[in-house]
Structure 1
Amino acid sequence: MFMINKKSAASLGWRLFALSWIPFIGIFSYVFYPIEEWLPPVSIYCLVISMCLMISGIVLIVVSLSAGANDNRRIHQTGEPGQATIVSVEDSGTRINDHFVLNVGVRIAPAFGPAFETVCSQVIPIYHMAQIQKNNTVNVRYLKDTQEAVIDFE
């Protein structure tokens, strides 16, 4: 099964989107051609290249957002329940339906095995914001093998 690395997909998407502006400048090459010609071939090529890069970048960015949601759903469904202590809280700068997407650092101490720290990047509903404070204990679901976790508000 093909698994998408959401960070590399997002990074590549933003780079393609940024690079799309370079050929976009070439669209304005028509100023160097006679007025009789509608649009020179160079402008058309630049337009096609720019649009391809821009659309590819946007698709990769959307795919990376979707992959993150799918990962959290998979962890929530198949992960083991446990307790975690919040060690850090950072705003990711993203809002989804007026809810914050936070990067919450947690320390999980499983019943069997060593404790580990991980970062839960997920949408935090506004009515659960009071629970997300440093040194608070929260319920989590985690995968032992990959040490991925999500905060469980249910």
Structure 2
Amino acid sequence: MKFNPTTLRKMGWRCFALMWVPFITLFVGMWDMPEGSYDFDEIPKLTQYSIIALSILFALTFIFFIGSIVISQKSKNNLLKKGKEAPAKIIRVYETGTTVNNSYMVGFDLEVMPKNAVKFNTTIEQLISRLRIHEFEVGNKVLVAYDPETQDAIILGKIEGELAS
């Protein structure tokens, strides 16, 4: 399994969604207990297991979300430093459901057209300012930095005018 930022973020959301199971069982385990203060050893086993599972899922959620940010930033910096520039055409735009500080995480299917290499298609997700979202419509041309080996890419900006095919 490739641990790219998208995969890590999806795993983080899955762990977050699964946290409801131990959260509910935590209260089910404490249902008949009288009010008061208890040590960990005095609470029912179901509640103990629920607390442990909740803690593990919370930690995994945090690790996956932070890991996706770190790997994404590292990949972006690597592409900006060592990537080759090429024009690309936006084939498809899709929502990822994520926003960060009023910027949208948008998914793109791109056809990258390097000058002295074979065209290839790639899929990327990138934060786009809500003020610039209109620049990234299907059919628009963009400038990308890409890695010829992995075919990872990052959009650098919009290209004005038509590209030679």
Same fold (TM over 0.5): yes
Residue of structure 1 aligned with 2:142, choices 124, 138, 142? 138
**What is the aligned partner in structure 2 of residue 10 from structure 1?**
9
Contact 2:4 2:72 in 1 (8 A): no
Question: d(CA) in 1 for partners of 2:140 and 2:7?
Answer: 32
- Same amino acid, percent of matched pairs: 24
Residue 99 (structure 1) shift: 1.2
Against the structure 1 CA distance between its residues 47 and 5, is the aligned structure 2 distance closer, same or farther, given a 3 Å change threshold? Answer: same
What residue identity is the alignment partner of 1:80? K
Change in Cα spacing, 1:144 to 1:49, as seen in structure 2 (3 Å) is same
Give the superposition deviation at 1:124. 1.2
Give the paired residue count.
152
Equivalence for 2:97:
93
Task: Structure 2: give runs of 5+ residues left out of the alignment.
Answer: 159-165
- Taking the aligned partners of 1:98 and 1:82, their CA distance within structure 2 comes to 28
Flag the 1:37–1:131 CA change in 2: closer, same or farther, 3 A: closer
Unaligned runs of 5+ in 1: none
Please give the per-residue CA displacement for 1:54-100, whole angstroms capped at 9, x wherever unaligned: 22223212312332232222212210111111111112111111011
Structure 2 distance, partners of 1:37, 1:137, is 64
Whether contact under 8 Å (1:72, 1:122) holds in the other structure is: no
Mapped pair 1:48 → 2:47:
no
Q: TM-score, with normalisation over the residues of structure 1?
A: 0.80
The answer to whether the 8 Å contact 2:30/2:44 transfers is no
1:131–1:138 Cα contact (<8 Å) kept: no
**TM-score, scaled relative to structure 2:** 0.76
